[in-house]
Amino acid sequence: MAYSFTSQSSQRATVRPPSAVQAVEWRCAECDKLLGVRHGARLHIRLQRHNYLVSLPVEATCYGCGTPNRT
């Protein structure tokens, strides 16, 4: 019975950051390439080492096939 502190560590697994909005992938209408990830009224765009969080509506030209997309 020397393991009296093991019950404390099990509480950490249940702590999660509050996520009010669900992440939805925004993909090209033509070739299905991932353009960004939408979080409610915002869109998260990751380009190489840059991260952008922009407000909707957003228009983007697909880097794969050149099709203009809008969300």
Residue from 52, 53, 61, 64 touching Zn ion (CB under 5 A): that is 64
Half-sphere CA count of 53, side-chain side, radius 13 A: 5
- Does the protein bind Zn ion through residue 35 (CB under 5 A)? no
Count interface residues toward Zn ion (CB under 5 A): 8
Options 12-20, 23-31, 34-42, 51-59: segment touching Zn ion (CB under 5 A): 23-31
- Does the protein bind Zn ion through residue 28 (CB under 5 A)? yes
